[in-house]
Amino acid sequence: MKCPFCAHLETQVVETRLAEEGGFIRRRRQCGACEKRFTTYEKPEVSFPAIVKKDGRRIEYQRDKLRASLNLALRKRPVSIEQVDGAIERIEENLLNQPHREVASNRLGELVMRELKKLDKVAYVRFASVYRSFEDIDEFKTLVDEVR
């Protein structure tokens, strides 16, 4: 590991710990040249399927974009960060278990709606009304009746 201070290539691991319930490893390192210490994190690299948009474009899966969508739907709702993290993990697990290397964006949207329905009915209705882009009030009423 290259030292971030002096760019020396020889560093020594001084301490190793599991972090975030074993989700990654935190290592304290010390440079052999300048003797400064720094922290590195190791986590497994997973390959999510590409997301295929309605217009045919393929984009990389972005966890931050998923979190932003969930947070927008859940704005001012009584849902904890831990619950949102759990929903994201379940969605990602589902994506990783897909047999294909590509997933249609509407499939991802359906996974998000399923998780929101479990977390908070109001957030589910908010997300679904935008996601499904209702044309009239009857479609919206049908969704609300479904949630009841």
Give CA–CA dist 101/78, Å, rounded.
Answer: 35
Strand partners, 50: 102
φ/ψ (deg, to 5) at 2: -80, 135
The pTM is what? 0.66
Residue 145 has pLDDT above 80, yes or no: no
pLDDT tens track for 95-142:
999 899 999 999 999 999 999 999 999 998 888 877 776 777 777 677
Q: What is the DSSP string of 59-110?
A: E---HHHHHHHHHHHTTTSS--HHHHHHHHHHHHHHHHT-SSSEEEHHHHHH
Give CA–CA dist 15/96, Å, rounded.
Answer: 32
The stretch 30-46 carries a mean pLDDT of 92
**Closest of 39, 36, 42, 45 to residue 15, by C-alpha:** 39
pLDDT of residue 140: 66
